[in-house]
């Protein structure tokens, strides 16, 4: 018989968006959750669940927080080994650190080593789903999906396509990008918990022919996600303008080739023009905020408040290794800090929502992951709200649960992650 588990603790879930009205009104706290067959069987009071599930193995987590595993909708797993590389802005950073490292991923064994290292690190930090760029090499995609499949993880990934402005050995062509992406999509999309994302890196590293080929592939598979970068740094925007003199703006370099759509994920989106904002909103595309990356590479301050106000769909991501952390807690802290710089502090409920439900919504997976509710997939994280002396002494005199949680958001790391469950199995 399948193992049934009852986890006791402070079970946090969301009943709506904490950006609509008073943030805490969109949250719910229960005493226990029952996991069975890889899914959430029930949520409720400890007594009621114990009575209803006398056969469940009980684990009592006391005052620890139990919530959905973190969802990270924009990462580059191949950049794991070169995270925290010093002193460059975007274009130089790519040429100096990123491309030489990505060159190694034609070797399936190396790609497998880094994929497993990346998934070990992110699991330890409580992240259970991510959407990753791979490299131009099909081996890098096979390695990542194989590693995630072995762990039963829900992940999204795609071959990063580039046919110009990248070094020899890191370029494909319009045709090979199409052919290899199509073959990988066929091989991996909707296998177990895996999904394929069509992945042109960004306009500067694709010819119009390649963008057109990617747009054609997406039109053939409109249910697939498409991920790319948009409007991250002002130098990059100038470069795009010179490479695509006929385009109305940066977004137009995607739009005119069929790469703007509802299932599109656009990373960074900092320096948007009004037309770009309007079009992204009209098609209900996903905007991915990568706060540690945006400060680390020196890109700028994402307009969370304005974009939320306008009704944009927003996810929160690490952007490993342009981002300087594997931790979604650290990423929430950076989002808070950027909110402060823009005059709008984010409530802890909003930060936790962005890193779970919000990011799952950005991946169009919020019916399956990112929250705790009956029938949803059992990807959970158990968080110790007093994981270090510094956090514990602040948490000790918190007056409510949000004041108890906030020090862990601001100062917590993998030490705060007491347990992780992936697909109903304990993973850490
Ligand atoms: N723009 C194009 N490629 C990348 C990348 O790998 N990281 C970041 N942060 N921005 C990019
Ligand atoms: Zn990126």
The pLDDT score that the predictor gives to residue 30 is 98
d(CA 41, CA 211): 44
The single residue listed with the structure tokens 């009852």 is 6
CATH number at residue 387: 2.30.40.10
The pLDDT score that the predictor gives to residue 45 is 98
CA–centroid distance, 8 to ligand 2, in Å, is: 37
What is the mean predicted confidence (pLDDT) over 385-406?
98
The pLDDT score that the predictor gives to residue 277 is 98
Residues 54, 166: one domain?
no
The pLDDT score that the predictor gives to residue 106 is 98
Residues 60, 42: one domain?
yes
The pLDDT score that the predictor gives to residue 329 is 99
> What is the per-residue pLDDT across 308-358, written as a single tens digit (0 to 9) for each?
999 999 999 999 999 999 999 999 999 999 999 999 999 999 999 999 999
CATH number at residue 343: 3.20.20.140
Q: What is the pTM of this model?
A: 0.98
Q: State the pLDDT confidence band at 133, using cuts at 50, 70 and 90.
A: very high
The pLDDT score that the predictor gives to residue 305 is 97
**How far are the Cα atoms of 78, 94, 136, 325 from residue 99, in angstroms, in the given order?**
10, 6, 11, 19
74 pocket-lining for ligand 1 (C-beta < 6 Å): no
The single residue listed with the structure tokens 């006398």 is 54
What is the mean predicted confidence (pLDDT) over 59-75?
99
- Burial bucket for residue 190 (CB in 10 Å: 0-12, 13-18, 19+): exposed
As a whole-number percent, the residues of the chain with pLDDT over 70 amount to: 100
CA–centroid distance, 104 to ligand 1, in Å, is: 17
Residues 83, 157: one domain?
yes
CA-nearest of 296, 303, 342, 346 to 322 is 296
Mutational pocket test of ligand 1: of 231, 322, 324, the residue with most ligand atoms within 8 Å of the beta carbon: 322
Range of the domain at 235: 70-362
Indicate if the pLDDT at residue 121 is higher than 60: yes
CA–centroid distance, 322 to ligand 1, in Å, is: 7
**What is the total count of domains within the chain?**
2
CA–centroid distance, 190 to ligand 1, in Å, is: 26
What is the mean predicted confidence (pLDDT) over 7-28?
98
Residues 191, 332: one domain?
yes
The pLDDT score that the predictor gives to residue 354 is 98
CA–centroid distance, 22 to ligand 1, in Å, is: 35
> What is the per-residue pLDDT across 263-290, written as a single tens digit (0 to 9) for each?
999 999 999 999 999 999 999 999 999 9
Residues 235, 259: one domain?
yes
Nearest CA to ligand 1 atom 7: 322
According to DSSP, the residues that pair with 67 across neighbouring strands are 381
The single residue listed with the structure tokens 């304990």 is 426
- pLDDT averaged over every residue in the chain: 98
Cβ atoms within 10 Å, residue 91: 15
The pLDDT score that the predictor gives to residue 248 is 98
Ligand nearest to the CA of 97: 1
What is the mean predicted confidence (pLDDT) over 217-242?
98
Which atom of ligand 1 is found nearest the CA of 79? 6
- Is residue 6 within 8 A of residue 57, CB to CB? The reply is yes
Question: Among the three residues 319, 345, 362, which one is the final residue of a domain in this structure?
Answer: 362
227 pocket-lining for ligand 1 (C-beta < 6 Å): no
Looking at residue 248, the DSSP 8-state letter turns out to be: S
Residues 12, 129: one domain?
no
What is the mean predicted confidence (pLDDT) over 124-134?
99
Mutational pocket test of ligand 1: of 73, 80, 89, 98, the residue with most ligand atoms within 8 Å of the beta carbon: 98
d(CA 143, CA 350): 34
Nearest CA to ligand 1 atom 8: 322
Which atom of ligand 1 is found nearest the CA of 322? 9
d(CA 235, CA 242): 11
The pLDDT score that the predictor gives to residue 396 is 98
What is the mean predicted confidence (pLDDT) over 165-178?
98
Angle between helix 328-341 and 401-411 (nearest 10): 100
Indicate if the pLDDT at residue 1 is higher than 70: no
Residues 233, 217: one domain?
yes
Indicate if the pLDDT at residue 155 is higher than 70: yes
Q: State the pLDDT confidence band at 212, using cuts at 50, 70 and 90.
A: very high
Residues 9, 85: one domain?
no
Mutational pocket test of ligand 1: of 90, 102, 290, the residue with most ligand atoms within 8 Å of the beta carbon: 90
Helix (H) or strand (E) holding 366: none
Question: Among the three residues 362, 390, 406, which one is the final residue of a domain in this structure?
Answer: 362
Residues 227, 346: one domain?
yes
- Burial bucket for residue 243 (CB in 10 Å: 0-12, 13-18, 19+): middle
The pLDDT score that the predictor gives to residue 198 is 99
The pLDDT score that the predictor gives to residue 122 is 99
Residues 337, 383: one domain?
no
What is the mean predicted confidence (pLDDT) over 374-400?
98
Residues 266, 330: one domain?
yes
Nearest CA to ligand 1 atom 11: 229
The pLDDT score that the predictor gives to residue 57 is 98
The single residue listed with the structure tokens 């650290």 is 330
- Is residue 158 within 8 A of residue 133, CB to CB? The reply is yes
Which atom of ligand 1 is found nearest the CA of 290? 9
What is the mean predicted confidence (pLDDT) over 191-208?
98
What is the mean predicted confidence (pLDDT) over 232-256?
98
Which atom of ligand 1 is found nearest the CA of 133? 6
Indicate if the pLDDT at residue 2 is higher than 90: no
Question: Among the three residues 340, 362, 384, which one is the final residue of a domain in this structure?
Answer: 362
293 pocket-lining for ligand 1 (C-beta < 6 Å): yes
d(CA 295, CA 292): 5
Residues 176, 192: one domain?
yes
CA–centroid distance, 100 to ligand 1, in Å, is: 14
């Amino acid at each position: 018989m399948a193992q049934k588990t009852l986890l006791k603790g402070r079970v946090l879930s969301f009943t709506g968006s904490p950006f609509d009205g008073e943030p805490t009104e969109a949250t719910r706290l229960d005493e226990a959750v029952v996991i069975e067959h890889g899914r959430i069987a029930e949520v409720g009071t400890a007594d009621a669940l114990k009575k209803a599930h006398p056969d469940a193995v009980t684990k009592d987590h006391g005052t620890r927080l139990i919530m959905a595993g973190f969802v990270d909708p924009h990462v580059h797993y191949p950049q794991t080994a070169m995270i925290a590389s010093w002193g460059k802005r975007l274009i130089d950073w790519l040429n100096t650190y990123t491309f030489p490292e990505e060159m190694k991923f034609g070797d399936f064994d190396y790609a497998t080593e880094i994929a497993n290292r990346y998934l070990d690190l992110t699991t330890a930090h409580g992240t259970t789903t991510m959407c990753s760029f791979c490299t131009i090499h099909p081996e890098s995609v096979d390695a990542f999906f194989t590693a995630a499949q072995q762990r039963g993880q829900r992940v999204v990934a795609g071959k990063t396509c580039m046919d110009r402005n990248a070094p020899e050995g890191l370029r494909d062509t319009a045709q090979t990008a199409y052919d290899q992406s199509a073959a990988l999509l066929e091989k991996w999309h909707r296998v177990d918990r895996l999904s394929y994302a069509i992945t042109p890196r960004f306009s500067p590293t694709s010819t119009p022919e390649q963008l057109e080929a990617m747009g054609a592939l997406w039109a053939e598979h409109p249910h697939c996600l498409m991920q790319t970068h948009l409007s991250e740094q002002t130098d990059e925007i100038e470069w795009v303008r010179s490479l695509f003199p006929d385009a109305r703006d940066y977004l137009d370099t995607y739009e005119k080739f069929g790469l703007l759509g509802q299932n599109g994920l656009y990373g960074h989106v900092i320096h948007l023009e009004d037309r770009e904002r309007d079009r992204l909103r009209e098609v209900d595309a996903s905007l991915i905020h990568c706060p540690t990356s945006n400060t680390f590479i020196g890109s700028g301050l994402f307009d969370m408040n304005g974009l939320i106000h306008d009704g944009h769909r927003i996810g929160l991501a690490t952007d490993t290794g342009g981002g300087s952390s594997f931790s979604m807690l650290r990423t929430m802290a950076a989002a808070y800090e950027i909110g402060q710089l823009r005059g709008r502090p984010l409530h802890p409920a909003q930060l936790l929502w962005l890193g779970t439900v919000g990011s799952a919504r950005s991946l169009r997976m919020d019916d399956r992951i990112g929250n705790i509710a009956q029938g949803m997939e059992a990807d959970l994280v158990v968080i110790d709200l007093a994981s270090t002396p510094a956090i514990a002494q602040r948490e000790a005199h918190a007056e409510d649960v949000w004041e108890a949680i906030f020090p862990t958001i601001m100062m917590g790391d993998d030490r705060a992650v007491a347990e992780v469950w992936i697909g109903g199995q304990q993973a850490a």
